[in-house]
Amino acid sequence: MKTDFSKEFIWHVLLLAAVFLMLWPILFMISTSFKDLNQVFESTLNPLPWPPTFSNYLSVLESFPLLTYIWNTFFIAAVVTVCKAATSVLAAFAFVYYDFKYKETVFNGMLLTFFIPITVLIMPNYLMMAKLDLLDTPWGVILPCLVDGMGVFLMRQTMRSIPKPLLEAAILDGAKPHQILWKVVLPLIKPSVLAVSILFFINSWNEYFWPLLILQDKDNYTLPLALQMFISAEGGSEWGIAMAVATLTSLPPLLLYCFCQKFIINTFMQSGVKG
Amino acid sequence: MQNSIVFSHVNKSYGKTAVIENLNLEIREGERLILLGPSGCGKTTTLRMIAGFEEISGGELYMNGKVVNDLPPGERNIAMVFQSYALFPHLTVWDNITFGLQLQKLPEDEIRSRTEKALDILHLKGYEHKKTHELSGGQKQRVALCRAIVKHSPYFLLDEPLSNLDAQLRQKARTELVKLHEMFKPTMIYVTHDQIEAMTVADRIAVMNRGELQQIDTPENIYHHPANTFVASFIGSPAMNIIKARFDNKKLAVGKCCLEVPEAWCKLIGSRKELLFGLRPEACVPKFDGGMLKGQVEFMENTGNLKTASLRLGSGENCFIQASDPKLSLQSVQGFDFDWSNVNLFDAATGMNIGYVR
């Protein structure tokens, strides 16, 4: 018992440290958003600004087209999420329930795409978007993000956990493939689809580099891009306002994750056990 | 014949491994055929070939007189009950049962009347709106049956449908299943490894081993006239005694005993020398002095209604005998008598039954 306790104690200390390291920047961001510029420089590390000021948030709401940026970001994230989820489910369905030549090879090839650094893909993708005349449009951001190897992989793992007799029962009843997908498979894997969708949404919402390359017009900016307008390399950055925007930006994904944590963790547990 | 199923020289192999070899089997319309065998004998594969889930590597499968080798499962008009029941966990009992009917786009009142009737037969009234995880094992099994019978299919396949039930329920379910079949009379193919289930449910039993059909016959014949030593030792518990024997000059040497062989049997044996002597334990009449075959009691088993003793014969082989009278103590048994009409003789080389004296 005693060793158990001390073991657990050490683990908890380590975990606490990890949690602190991860939460500290967020706490710092939130507290800075409630400080005026003087406070930012006088008591930089003080996590509880006193008196807290709401002026940052007020000026964001007054002088900053927040709604436009939220809409831009949301539009891209929503389209990307829906398409990625759809392509992942369809591809996984084919990988699990169809037998075709070179299935394993194709699947392994798809897994290999995990290991290609994003930076390598930037050039060809950019050139393609330029050729398609989609630079500086949301579609230029969306198009290269419609398929995700990780999504296919996770969906495949989930689908493999569906007992085969369920599908055979449906087949004997005369169900066509699309009916099997729609009436049997999807209802059973709904939680997992939801979970990967949330991850896709959060990732797309937070994406910075790719939109930065594609979008030039400020009206098309997404929130992470807009954020950067308040920070300039030469100094004179408005830290308080920047942090207020940052807080507002990170709020939706944070809330989304909090509500759907259970699904997300289950999905990853499943893929680990069955893989 | 209508709604019969015929396997003609059917082979099934996965890569180079043959699972079923040259299967010839005719399943008659409206009969209850049991596919029985140890695990891995190919019985489930055979069933799945009928359903269309397993491709047929060679030969033809006929259903209703037509070759169906390439007919997709959904077009074979088959109802099937799976070992795991395969109920859709996201649907209610009602939706599970009507799943196939709704896909077929049957008229609403037809679906309703069929389902109501099936629910009534299987005592599931009042459970329509429950989800399947709220049901007990027995109820799930009945829902699975219900889903199969509402289809009104001429073919009814069951893959070990009772193996997930406990012993008492299993017996009840068995009788219900037979009643259900009598009601609709589909051609029923039932896979099991449980010989009691096979004996009680079957019109005919097909015994399989290692991908080969060993014998297909009525339960009585399978039990009393096994075609070969495999069937003889697979059916019955304890199994049939099979003892090495040597035939010479109208005498059969079994263990250290020498038996006079009746004239009719001698003709049947002909020129064979090495034989296997088969006798069911209950066909042995215990003797406390002498007996046609002699041996020493090695150990005893008591199952309450039956007492079994294992005798060690002179040649070192064991022979089980069963006392029909449970009060009889077998402790001091010296040997046993038997009637030649209960004897099975097998060719030692091939293991095949040499036939019977009628």
Quote the ipTM score.
Answer: 0.84
Q: What's the whole-number average pLDDT of chain B?
A: 90
Average pLDDT over residues A153-166: 92
Q: Report, as an integer, the average pLDDT of B285-295.
A: 85
Average pLDDT over residues A24-44: 83
Tell the CATH topology of A60-274: MetI-like fold (1.10.3720)
DSSP state for residue B59 in the 8-state scheme: E
Q: Which of A114-128, A226-240, B3-17, B270-284 has the lowest mean pLDDT?
A: A226-240
pLDDT of res. A253: 84
User: Which ranges in B104-218 belong to alpha helices (H)?
Assistant: 108-121, 137-149, 167-184, 195-201
Instruction: Note whether A188 contacts B: Cβ–Cβ < 8 A.
Output: yes
pLDDT at A42 over 80: no
pLDDT of residue A275: 32
- Domain(s) labelled CATH 1.10.3720.10 in chain A stretch across 60-274
Q: Residue B226 pLDDT more than 90?
A: yes
Which chain B residues have any C-beta within 8 angstroms of a chain A C-beta?
Answer: 51, 53, 73-76, 78-80, 82-84, 86, 88-90, 99-100, 103-104, 147, 151
Q: What is the mean pLDDT of residues B36-63?
A: 93
Q: Are B283 and B338 in contact (CB under 8 A)?
A: yes
Percent of chain A scoring above 70 in pLDDT: 94
B chain contacts of residue A191, beta-carbon cutoff 8 Å: none
Confidence (pLDDT) at A269: 72
pLDDT per residue over B130-144, tens digit each? 999 999 989 999 999
pLDDT band at A3 (very low <50, low <70, confident <90, very high): low
Give a three-class secondary structure readout of B229-298: HHHHHHCCCCCCEEEEEEEECCEEEECCEEEECCHHHHHHHCCCCEEEEEECHHHCEEECCCCCEEEEEE
pLDDT in tens, A186-205: 999 988 898 889 889 989 99
d(CA A208, CA A214): 10
User: Distance (Å) from the C-alpha of residue B245 to the closest C-alpha of chain A?
Assistant: 49
Judge whether A80 and A199 are in contact, CB under 8 Å.
no
- Interface probe for A, chosen from B63, B68, B84 (most Cβ of A below 10 Å), is B84
Specify the pLDDT at position B216. 95
Mean pLDDT taken over chain A:
87
Q: Does A175 touch chain B (CB under 8 A)?
A: yes
Q: Which residue of A has its CA nearest to B74?
A: A174
Q: Would you state the pLDDT for residue A273?
A: 43
Is A170 an 8 Å CB contact of chain B? yes
Closest Cβ opposite residue B88 in set A174, A179, A184: A184
Q: Looking at residue A274, what is its pLDDT?
A: 38
Q: Residue A55 above 90 pLDDT? A: no
DSSP count for chain A of H helices, then E strands: 14, 0
Query: Please, which residues bridge with residue B205 across strands?
Result: B34, B217
CA A235 from chain centre, in angstroms, equals 31
What confidence score (pLDDT) does residue A236 get? 61
Lowest pLDDT segment from A255-269, B21-35, B194-208? A255-269
The Cα B185–Cα B145 span in angstroms is 14
Of A166, A179, A188, the CB nearest to B86: A166
pLDDT of A85 > 80? The answer is yes
**Contact across the interface for B99 and A170, Cβ inside 8 Å:** yes
In the predicted structure, residue B86 carries a pLDDT above the cut 70: yes
pLDDT at B256: 78
Mean pLDDT of B6-18: 91
Q: Is the pLDDT of residue A2 over 70?
A: no
CA B262 to CA B71: how far, in whole Å? 55
Q: Hey, is the C-beta of A98 within 8 angstroms of any chain B C-beta?
A: no
A186 touches chain B (CB under 8 A): no
Strand-pairing partners, residue B215, are: B207
What average pLDDT score do residues B295-322 get? 85
**Three-state DSSP state, B126:** coil
Amino acid type, A46: N
Contact flag B74-A168 (C-beta cutoff 8 Å): no
Q: Tell me which chain B residues have a C-beta less than 8 angstroms from the C-beta of A170.
A: 88, 99
Question: A99 to chain B nearest CA, in Å?
Answer: 13
Contact B86 A172 (CB under 8 A): no
Q: How far is CA B118 from CA A94, B81, B109, in A?
A: 36, 15, 14
Size of interface A-B (CB pairs under 8 A): 55
List domains and CATH numbers for chain B: 5-225 (3.40.50.300), 231-347 (no CATH)
